[in-house]
Amino acid sequence: MVLLLFVDLDPELIALRPLGGFFVLRASGVPGRSLPTLAEIYEGASSDVYENSMTFRVRKVAESLHAPELRIAASVAQQGLAARLWSVALGCATLYGALPDLNPDLLRWDPDGSAPDDLWLTEVRPSAADPVDAVLHGHLEPLTALVHERYRVAEGLLWGNAGSALAGAARQLERWARAQGRAEDVVRIRALTAALLAHPLLAGTLDASGRRRSCCLYYRVPGGGVCGDCCFTRPPGSSPRAASG
């Protein structure tokens, strides 16, 4: 995949700031060793503050949502992190024409942060990687493996989360580009997103209308309902009257 219109990366990735919280990547005021890197997360390591960072995050999400099962919270947590990573990658690809080095060793994450997930890039340096290598292989493969193994969430569901997160990030970025009159960026965003969704790891996660073919389990949260792109039109087991009321 080739990214065009290269622009030098500024040391604080300022161009991302107008895009909003999911797209912003902090590159200054980086916290110290108290926060884990994403590499440490994927390896299941502990940090100076958290006995096990992913376990801490999943339990925090479960408590916030009153989720009856940890695997529901694990699915939500994984999708939230995937959305942040896709947003950063798409934003950089659109505004800079290239990505900074998003190696998991360079990205720090706060498991106790609110949504959208807090991410810090400890060093801004150019990278020749495209979103397939940087996000799919560099992050989502090890993250999916971790959540699947630890919480027994189906891999197909987790890749569905990744596809849904990508499509959501692309829609938000496209709305911003249209509002700014950046028609060429709209074309670029659509082409890049289509290419990513055609990758074997994501192919088939969404149907032709953009509706996902799996469910993230959010409907099992008390009062959760179904997401806008869910494969279900109403929560399984509910009656049409209950779903509409």
Q: What is the pLDDT of residues 42-85, one digit of tens each?
A: 987 655 555 688 999 999 999 999 999 999 999 999 999 999 99
In a domain, 40, yes or no: yes
Residue 6 lies in a domain: no
Q: What's the domain count of the chain?
A: 1
Where in the sequence is the domain holding 77, given as residue range(s)? 14-220
- Whether 153 is in a domain gets the answer yes
Tens of pLDDT, residue by residue over 180-210, are: 999 999 999 999 999 999 999 999 999 999 9
Q: Which two tokens stand for residue 136?
A: 């799919």
pTM above 0.85, yes or no: yes
Name the 3-class secondary structure at 112.
Answer: coil
In this prediction, residues 157-169 reach a mean pLDDT of 97
Residue 9 lies in a domain: no
Q: At CA 106, angle to CA 100 and CA 107, rounded to 5?
A: 90
pLDDT at 162: 98
Contact 4, 94 (CB under 8 A): no
Contact 159, 202 (CB under 8 A): yes
* Position 87 in a domain: yes
Q: Tell me, yes or no, whether 159 lies in a domain.
A: yes
pLDDT exceeds cutoff 80 at 245: no
Q: What's the chain's average pLDDT?
A: 89
d(CA 106, CA 39): 8
pLDDT at 218 over 60: yes
Q: How confident is the model at residue 160 (pLDDT cuts 50, 70, 90)?
A: very high
Residue 234 located in a structural domain: no
Provide DSSP, 183-206. HHHHHHHHHHHHHHHTSTTTTTSB
Q: Residue 206 falls within a domain, yes or no?
A: yes
Percentage above 70 pLDDT, the chain = 90
CB-facing half-sphere around the CA of 49: CA atoms within 13 A: 15
DSSP label at 212? B
Q: What is the CATH number of the domain that holds 127?
A: 1.10.510
Write out the H or E segment, with its range, that includes residue 166. Answer: helix 155-179
Pick the residue with more confidence: 8 or 111?
111
CB of 213 within 8 A of CB of 160?
A: yes
